[in-house]
Amino acid sequence: MTNIVVAVKYVPDATADRTFNSSDNTVDRENVDGLLSELDEYAVEQALQVVEAGEGEVTVVTVGPADAADAVRKALQMGADKGVHVEDDAIHGSDAFATSLVLAKAIEKLDYDLVFFGMASTDGGLGVVPTLVAERLGLPAVTFASEVSVDGDTVKIRRDGDAATQQIEATGKLVVSVTDQTGEARYPSFKGIMAAKKKPVEEWTLSDLGVDASDVGLDAAWTKVESFTERPPRTAGEIVTDEGDGGSKLVEFLASKKFV
Amino acid sequence: MTEVLVLIEAPQGKVTKPSLELLTIARSIGEPSAVVFGEADASVLAEYGAEKIYTYDDAAYGDFLVAPKAEALAALVAEKSPAAVLAPASTEGKEISARVALKTDSGWIGDAVDVSVDGGTITTTQSVFAGNFTVQSQVSKGAPIITVKPNSVTPEAASGAGTVEAVSFDVPDSAKTVKIVSSEARQSTGRPELTEAAIVVSGGRGTGGDFSEVEAFADSLGAAVGASRAAVDSGWKPHTFQVGQTGKTVSPQLYVANGISGAIQHRAGMQTSKTIVAVNKDDEAPIFELVDFGVVGDLKTVLPQATEAITQRKG
């Protein structure tokens, strides 16, 4: 029996024009279309595979504004059993540390053996929330897993790092973040889409979690964005068409910049 | 002068270039103290300005994932009350530093590309949303714990005392739960590390699976070789070569994209490169919107000619 909680994030679509709110320097999540972070789909997929290979339940949890429920729904359509959506106005502007507090408190309320995350979000992209949630839960974390399997009480993980490929083994509760190397995420089937409509999604607020509103949000942030600047669009570079001298022209450019 | 703790990475005892960059940044804040788990060449650390070198020697640091190192570093931070802690923005550097931040109630900043000090206040600069914005941040709690991206500064030698202080720390059993059963070192390509290299030459779908022209060109420039997701997904290069959102983020002085269309996923991994050059057959490839210089042409003919021209220049 392996019960898995998958934490997912609703992110601004990376192909849309992402920006900041000029009033408080937070990420604009309202005027941009969002979706379940592509990288979190791999975590949902892995959780489903582990449970399908044995027994257990997959619960999806997200923290975010009303629209974030879409991310939970997508995961339920893929096959997760139930969802939790933590929504509270006080959470707006939370940094990774406050977000990890809310997530950890929500996960504590659930029955779980493993907690899965995507490798990083596609907006903030620091990939640090899994580690922070693990630290708050007093658990070890194995990040950037390329392969995950559960053998009895033991979780076996392959990690392809920069310098080496590691085989990791752990027993007991564990936080895992998975990369896109774990395998393609499934598309929701028509049956899955219909079934998801009947699956339970709990709505929790901070008070349900026993989190003090003053510990989250912009004012509680341990780090603050003091200012932001949009980079001026790159001035159009010089484009040449190869007419038998493209390579030479390329090297002339590199020489003008002192790279050769 | 106040102490600045610098987490050093030194695989097989060799101090990495990003670690030396951290020492250079640390000198602008205060007195750098290197923190070393396992072996590292102390003379190199002193040469780049380390006044003190704290060394930790316990098999647990190599046998388990980050927990033992995080416990040890958190204890050191509590004892020394440094002005700041700098760590490389590597997977391990981020995990150790983030855990230390929570353990010590300190603000954490990830992926800084610049760190400046004004009247004792430390401000960092980060590049976000695929390089479309830069943000300036400060911590509002504790000493800033900052991970810094490679190539943020050029390491500068400045001799420090390099006094070695062996620290004894009892690693709690609770930190020994995730065991590294085996570790197979990646075979060295003989080229610079992708994330550290000053020049990166990448290939994509346009190579058709044959990276020989891309590699020869890279070698003529002393560059690291990267690949697009399309090339990796096709099995032409291992995932460790992948540049982009689900691969490595690189920020070299020069990035050369060959046969890569420049999808947003790829841009996210290379857009902060200082100079960008592309070679692509398709004159409408989005990568050309980013470049400082582009060649519309076949990389199979353009690159060999360029390689030849560079070899001739070198005489």
Q: What is the CATH number of domain B3-175?
A: 3.40.50.620
Q: Choose among A161, A164, A250: nearest Cβ to B277.
A: A250
Q: Choose among A39, A123, A224: nearest Cβ to B138.
A: A224
Q: Choose among A14, A166, A237: nearest Cβ to B291.
A: A237
* CATH 3.40.50.620 domain position(s) in chain B: 3-175
Sheet of B108-118: strand order equals A223-230, B133-139, B121-128, B108-118, B145-148, B84-88, B3-7, B31-37, B52-56, B163-166
pLDDT, tens only, A7-52: 999 887 666 666 677 767 776 666 667 788 888 999 999 999 999 9
**Is B138 part of the contact surface with chain A (CB cutoff 8 Å)?**
yes
Count of CB pairs separated by less than 8 Å, A with B: 241
Q: For residue A180, which residues of chain B lie inside 8 Å, CB to CB?
A: 246
DSSP string, A12-67: E-TTS---B-TTT--B--SSS-EEE-HHHHHHHHHHHHHHHHS---EEEEEESSGG
- Please check whether residue B264 is in contact with residue A15, taking contact to mean a CB–CB distance below 8 angstroms: yes
Contact B264/A14, CB-based, under 8 Å? Answer: yes
Fold assignment, B199-314: Rossmann fold (3.40.50)
- Please check whether residue B181 is in contact with residue A167, taking contact to mean a CB–CB distance below 8 angstroms: yes
Domain residue spans of chain A: 4-220
User: CB-based burial of residue A195 (10 Å sphere; 0-12 exposed, 13-18 middle, 19+ buried)?
Assistant: middle
Contact A229/B133, CB-based, under 8 Å? Answer: yes
pLDDT in tens, chain B (315 residues): 699 999 999 988 899 999 999 999 999 999 999 999 999 999 999 999 999 999 999 999 989 999 999 999 999 999 999 999 999 998 899 999 999 999 999 999 988 988 998 888 899 988 776 667 788 888 888 899 999 988 889 999 999 999 999 999 999 998 998 999 998 887 777 898 898 899 999 999 999 999 999 999 999 999 999 999 999 999 999 888 999 988 888 989 999 999 999 998 898 889 888 899 999 999 999 999 989 999 999 999 999 999 999 999 887
Q: Name the residue in chain B with its Cα closest to that of A14.
A: B264
Q: 138-167 in A: which are within 8 Å (CB) of B?
A: 138, 140-144, 146, 160-167
**Is B180 part of the contact surface with chain A (CB cutoff 8 Å)?**
yes
* CATH 3.40.50.1220 domain position(s) in chain B: 199-314
Fold assignment, A4-220: Rossmann fold (3.40.50)
pTM recorded for the entire structure: 0.85
Contact B102/A132, CB-based, under 8 Å? Answer: yes
**Is A214 part of the contact surface with chain B (CB cutoff 8 Å)?**
no
Q: Choose among B65, B103, B305: nearest Cβ to A247.
A: B305
Q: 57-116 in A: which are within 8 Å (CB) of B?
A: 96-97
Tell me which DSSP letter residue A198 carries: T
Contact A231/B99, CB-based, under 8 Å? Answer: no
Report the complex ipTM.
Answer: 0.84
